[in-house]
Amino acid sequence: SAVISQKPSRDICQRGTSLTIQCQVDSQVTMMFWYRQQPGQSLTLIATANQGSEATYESGFVIDKFPISRPNLTFSTLTVSNMSPEDSSIYLCSVEEWNGTYGYTFGSGTRLTVV
C-alpha cells in the first residue's frame, strides 16, 4: 500500500495565523482526501483534493478557510487559515488506491492546537 509522509506531526499556533499541512505519497494516486478528527471523535471529511482542479468541499467547509492544493498525483497541501481555538483538531490526509481491490491509507495526522 501507499506510504504517506504527513508534515508537520503537530504544531501550536497563534490565533489569526495560518498553517499549511503537507502530504507526500510515494506513488501516484488519483483520489486524495482531507479529514478532521477531534480527539476521541469520528472523522469528518473536509474535502477531496482534485489534481489540476479546485478541491471539492463538503458542507460546512469553504475554500477561503481551508484552501487545498494538488499540484500533482503524489502531493497535496491543506491550509488552515485565520485560525481560532475551534480549529484545534487532528487533520489527516488519506488516499485511495486500486490494486485489484480498493484500499485506503491515512497519513499519520497533524495535531493542531490553536492558542
Residue numbers of the site for another protein (CB under 8 A)?
Answer: 1, 33, 41-45, 58, 92, 94, 101-109
Q: For the chain, what percentages of helix, strand and coil (3-state, to nearest 5) are there?
A: 5, 55, 45
Residue number, 13 or 45, with CB nearest to another protein = 45
With beta carbons less than 8 A apart as the criterion, state whether 20 and 31 touch.
no
Q: C-beta of 15: minimal distance to another protein in Å?
A: 26
- By beta-carbon proximity to another protein, the closer residue of 8 and 103 is 103
**What is the smallest separation between the CB atom of 73 and another protein, expressed in angstroms?**
19
Cβ of residue 109: shortest distance to another protein, in angstroms? Answer: 5
Residue 79: exposed, middle, or buried by beta-carbon count in 10 A (0-12, 13-18, 19+)? Answer: middle
